[in-house]
Each structure stands twice: as C-alpha cells, then as structure tokens.
Chain A
Amino acid sequence: MHGHLGWLAALALAHPAVLLRRPNRRAFGVALTATVLVTVVAALGATLYPGYRATIKPALFAAAPAVGELFERKEHLGVAALVLAWTGLVAHALAHRRGAVQPQLGRTAFVAYVGAAAVAITTACAGLIVGVHASP
C-alpha cells in the first residue's frame, strides 16, 4: 500500500509543478491535495521504517548491497519530497494571500513543487526496484 500511495503522491506532486509554472496562477486545492497525500505516504513510511531496519535491511544488504543502498537513497529523497511539498504549499498560499500576488513567492512555489515531484518520482522508481528485489 505504501508503494501504491507513493506512486500516487509522486504523480499528484507533478500536477502543481505543471500548473504553477505561471506565478500568477492559483492552484491551492491541487497543491494542498498533493501535499497531504505525500505527507500521508511519508508518515506511513516512517511507521514502517524501524521494522524494515530490523528485519529486511540486513537481508537486503547481504543479498544485493546496491539495492540496499538504493533503498537508503530513496528514504533521503522521500524526506526532501515532503519538505519541498510543504515549502511549495506555504509559498503558494502566501503568494496569493488577500488578492495581492507576490511573484517571487509564486516562482519559489513552482521550484519547490518541481523539486518535490522530481525527487518523489525518483523515490517511487527506486521503491519499485527495491520492491522487486525484496519481495519473496
């Protein structure tokens, strides 16, 4: 389920990244939905991670060290996706607060969502590769 939601979140993050290429455009609902989704996935991942470290990680590193390292990279990129999604959401909300548009913050929101989408899609791809190796 974590993997499926991860893919959904990665694709959802691409939506505000595309919409916010124009700093004046408002897409708060889309940005909020994507950010909430990636937060749920991150929370689920954080819940699973201690168990993974204890049981799956040693076996994965013994069988395929490169895949184990890929998993570690995936975790770091997931953290970045979460931070960037929230940064983009806050920047976008403040950029359009009370009708006055702040173009710098609008551009920052765009950069944050592009970064979040890029790292989230990379994370999802890495998760897929790890899943193929780690599944019995």
Chain B
Amino acid sequence: MHVTAGVNPRVVRATSLLGVDVAPARVPVPVSIPARARSAGFARTGARVVAGAAAFLSSYALLQILHATGHEPPFVRALSPIPLFARVLASALWAAPVGFAGGAVIGTRPRLLAKLPTALAVVIAAFVIAVVLFP
C-alpha cells in the first residue's frame, strides 16, 4: 500500500481491517460484589448451622458414652435432674460456639465446604453407633 505524505500509516492499516468479519469477543457476565458477598454469607451461615449440628451430635454421643460408663461430668448432671435433658442442654451449650467458630472457617474455604455432607454423614453414623452400643 502506498502511503502518501501527511497520512497516518496506522490509521490506514486500521481502516484496511474494517472489512474483516471478526467474531465478537466474549464479554464475561459481571457478577456484582454484593451478590457474591451475599452468597458467601449464606454459605457461611449454612456451614455454621451444619457444624453446630455436628458438634451437638458428637458431644451428645460422647456424653452418652460417659454416662453409660459412669463417668458423666458433674456439671452436666447439674444442668437438669433428668439425664436426657441435661445431655441435650450440655450439647447445645457446646455446639453453639463450636458451630459459630467452625462454620466461619468452613464457610470461607470451598474445599472444606464441599466435604461438609460427608462429614455430617460420618457424624450421624458415629452417633448411631454410640447410642446403640451405649444405651
């Protein structure tokens, strides 16, 4: 192409491309930060609840074993005159802070979050085994 004096060669080259059919570039769908933060917040809350439930069931199973073997801690007995209710109260008192702290950690790590269903299934199985073996 002959470039005459006073004409910007870059503009000339650019105009030569105008006729070329270029596929439109893929523009990523923007995800707003508040929506992403909300989603992460739901995941964290869910992880807290599930971690709390797992902590409740595991502590209940442990207290049940201790009760069956005659080693129930005195502070658990002090919670209620009925051992079943005392165990429920003690497990709930333990599960609340553990679930809150554990869920905050699990909810922010996708790998741990993905293992949550398996972890809950393991805790359920352990609970059932403990209850069956130590009534």
**Cβ A100 vs Cβ B39 within 8 A:** yes
Q: Which residues of B, 103-124, contact A by the 8 Å Cβ criterion?
A: 113-114, 116-117, 120-121, 124
Q: Report the interface size class on chain A.
A: 20 to 34
Distance of A84 Cα from B128 Cα, bound (Å):
13
Which A4-19 residues have a C-beta within 8 angstroms of B?
Answer: none
Contacting pair A83 B38 (CB below 8 A): no
Q: Give A103 Cβ to nearest chain B Cβ, in Å.
A: 9
- The reply to whether the CB of B100 lies closer than 8 angstroms to some CB of chain A is no
**Is A90 in contact with B121, judged by CB distance below 8 angstroms?**
no
User: Closest approach, in angstroms, between the C-beta of B10 and any C-beta of chain A?
Assistant: 46
Does B43 touch A at the CB level, under 8 Å? yes
Q: How far is the CA of A24 from the CA of B80 in the complex (A)?
A: 42
A87 within 8 Å of B by Cβ? yes
Q: Which of B38, B39, B56, B84 has the most CB of A within 10 A?
A: B84
Q: Is there an interface contact between B45 and A94, defined as CB atoms closer than 8 Å?
A: yes
Whether B53 is near chain A, meaning CB under 8 Å from some CB there, is yes
Contact with B along A66-81 (1 / 0, CB 8 A): 0001101101110110
Q: Identify B114's interface contact among A49, A53, A69, A104, CB under 8 A.
A: A104
Is B82 a contact of A87 with CB atoms below 8 Å? no
B23-39 near A? 1/0 per residue, CB < 8 Å? 00000000000010011
Q: Are A79 and B60 in contact (CB under 8 A)?
A: yes
Q: Which residue of B56, B82, B116 contacts A50 across the interface (Cβ within 8 Å)?
A: B82
A39 adjacent to chain B (CB < 8 Å): no
- Complex Cα distance, B84 from A119, in Å, reads 17
With A100-B35, A105-B43, A108-B117 as contacts: A49 and B82 at CB distance below 8 Å: yes
Q: Known interface pairs A79-B60, A87-B50, A104-B43. Does A110 touch B84 (Cβ–Cβ under 8 Å)?
A: no
Out of A46, A105, A112, A119, name the residue touching B53 (CB < 8 Å). A112
| Cα–Cα distance between A105 and B50 once the two chains are bound (Å) | 9
Residues of chain A within 8 A (CB-CB) of B39 are 100, 102
24 contacts between A and B (CB under 8 A): A49-B84, A49-B85, A50-B82, A53-B82, A69-B135, A75-B84, A76-B84, A79-B88, A84-B53, A87-B120, A90-B45, A90-B46, A90-B49, A94-B43, A97-B42, A102-B46, A104-B113, A104-B114, A107-B117, A108-B117, A111-B117, A111-B121, A111-B124, A115-B124
* List of 5 A-B pairs having minimum Cβ-Cβ separation, nearest first: A87-B53, A115-B124, A94-B46, A69-B135, A107-B117
